[in-house]
Amino acid sequence: MTVRVMLVSPATSEELREARFGGDGPLDEAGARRARAATGAVARVDRFLSGPSRRCRETAAELGAAPPAEVLGELGDWDMGRWRGRRLDEVGVSEPEAVSAWLSDPAAAPHGGESLLALCERVGGWLRSLPDDAGRVLAVVEPAVARAAVMHALSLPAEAFWRLDVAPLTLTELSGRAERWNLRCGRPLSAGSG
């Protein structure tokens, strides 16, 4: 049986606009309004999941899909350790060598959190754990988690992570099972799609 995994990136928040690492603030009003407008955009799902960040949980609630979203820790955002909550430009000024290592070495975690390889392995483990009869799975996840899922699904080299972009409130779809996935990415989430 084919599994359909629909990854929705959360709507906008102040932290996203400020390029903060792992900020966990609420959706901004424009983001909440866009998420409400997308209610019903995804048809029937067998399982509705959310990453644990406030932004993901609020987006899931605004989308209103049934059943209610189950929050899974393994769908959490990239653990940025001591950089969490800081802006990229701040860290770039105070720790330029660390940022350079983080951007160039997929095994590096100068911030004390997860390396890119660890993130991709965690998200890949979740994809591998889905049973063949999982049906239609919708998960509201941070952009880094969606990117890691694509990396795993397509067996891309780690360097490709930095070349993937996931815009707010877009749908990335994986269909298949086990280690054989197909990709449909970047579709805007709007009423009537799905």
Q: What are the extents of the domains in the chain?
A: 3-80+114-188
Quote the mean pLDDT of the chain: 90
* 139-155 residues labelled b (16+ CB within 10 A) or e (exposed): bbbbbbbbbbbbbbbee
Rounded to an integer, the average pLDDT of 174-190 is 79
Residue 6, SS3 per DSSP: strand
Rounded to an integer, the average pLDDT of 28-54 is 88
pLDDT given at position 65: 66
pLDDT (tens digit, 9 = 90+) per residue, 78-95? 999 999 999 999 999 999
| Alpha carbons 136 and 48: distance in angstroms, whole number | 9
DSSP 8-state symbol, 27: B
Look at the pTM and tell me if it is higher than 0.75: yes
Show the 3-state SS of 101-124.
HHHHCCCCCCCCCCCHHHHHHHHH
pLDDT (tens digit, 9 = 90+) per residue, 118-161? 999 999 999 999 998 999 999 999 999 999 999 999 999 999 99
Q: Which residue type sits at 79?
A: D
pLDDT band at 184 (very low <50, low <70, confident <90, very high): confident
Q: Which residue type sits at 108?
A: A
pLDDT given at position 192: 46
Spell out the residues 6+ positions from residue 158 whose beta carbon is closer than 8 angstroms to its own: 106, 116, 117, 120, 151
pLDDT at 23 over 50: yes
Rounded to an integer, the average pLDDT of 26-45 is 85
pLDDT given at position 186: 66
pLDDT given at position 190: 62
Domain 3-80+114-188 is in which class?
alpha beta
